[in-house]
């Protein structure tokens, strides 16, 4: 009988620890570490529950160079060089946010271009921006909503 009690006590302690861990992770899940490093790593595994996210992450990994993918995971944004304007780079965020237009390491403006479906995986949205900028930058700029740079950039 005491062995059964010990098993139940251990079970409940482990259950409480797991629930506490998930609550702590939930508090920090919007942080840069989780958004840029942990979630992409988790999405690549076959046990990840959302196959669309796993497929999108695999496509992103396939279409970016190793250096680009590592930089995206380290910084949380992808730098796409401009084909039309010298010294211009577009910083595409991995998560929600606006694309920054950077010229000579100074943010000049912010762009907002969103897909009509809000349920696309983050990796697909990053690829959308990258492919649109590289293929037809002029149309991308005409489509985007332009905002002045923020004071803190």
Contact between 126 and 72 (Cβ < 8 Å): yes
Q: Please check whether residue 16 lies inside any domain of the structure.
A: no
Taking residues 72-83, report their average pLDDT: 92
Contact between 39 and 77 (Cβ < 8 Å): no
Name the band, by pLDDT with cuts 50, 70 and 90, for residue 119: confident
**What does the pLDDT look like over 127-146, one tens digit per residue?**
999 999 999 999 999 999 99
Could you give the number of structural domains in the chain? 1
Q: Please check whether residue 153 lies inside any domain of the structure.
A: no
**Domain region containing 41:** 31-148
Q: Please check whether residue 93 lies inside any domain of the structure.
A: yes
Stronger pLDDT, 97 or 92, i.e. the higher one: 92
Q: Please check whether residue 6 lies inside any domain of the structure.
A: no
User: What residue has token string 């900028």?
Assistant: 133
Rg of the chain over all Cα atoms, to the nearest angstrom: 21
Q: Please check whether residue 10 lies inside any domain of the structure.
A: no
Element spanning 105, H or E: none
Q: Please check whether residue 139 lies inside any domain of the structure.
A: yes
Name the band, by pLDDT with cuts 50, 70 and 90, for residue 9: confident
β-partners of residue 146 are 111
């Amino acid at each position: 009988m005491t062995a059964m009690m010990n098993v139940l006590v251990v079970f409940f302690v482990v259950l409480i620890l797991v629930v506490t861990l998930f609550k702590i992770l939930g508090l920090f899940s919007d942080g840069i570490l989780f958004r840029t490093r942990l979630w992409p790593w988790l999405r690549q595994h076959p046990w990840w529950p959302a196959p669309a996210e796993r497929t999108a992450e695999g496509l992103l990994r396939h279409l970016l160079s190793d250096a680009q993918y590592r930089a995206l995971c380290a910084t949380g944004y992808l730098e796409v060089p401009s084909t039309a304007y010298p010294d211009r780079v577009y910083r595409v965020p991995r998560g929600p946010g606006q694309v920054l237009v950077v010229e000579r390491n100074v943010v000049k403006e912010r762009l907002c271009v969103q897909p009509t479906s809000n349920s696309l995986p983050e990796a697909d949205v990053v690829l959308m921006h990258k492919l649109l900028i590289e293929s037809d930058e002029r149309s991308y700029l005409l489509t985007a909503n332009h905002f002045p740079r923020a004071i803190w950039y």
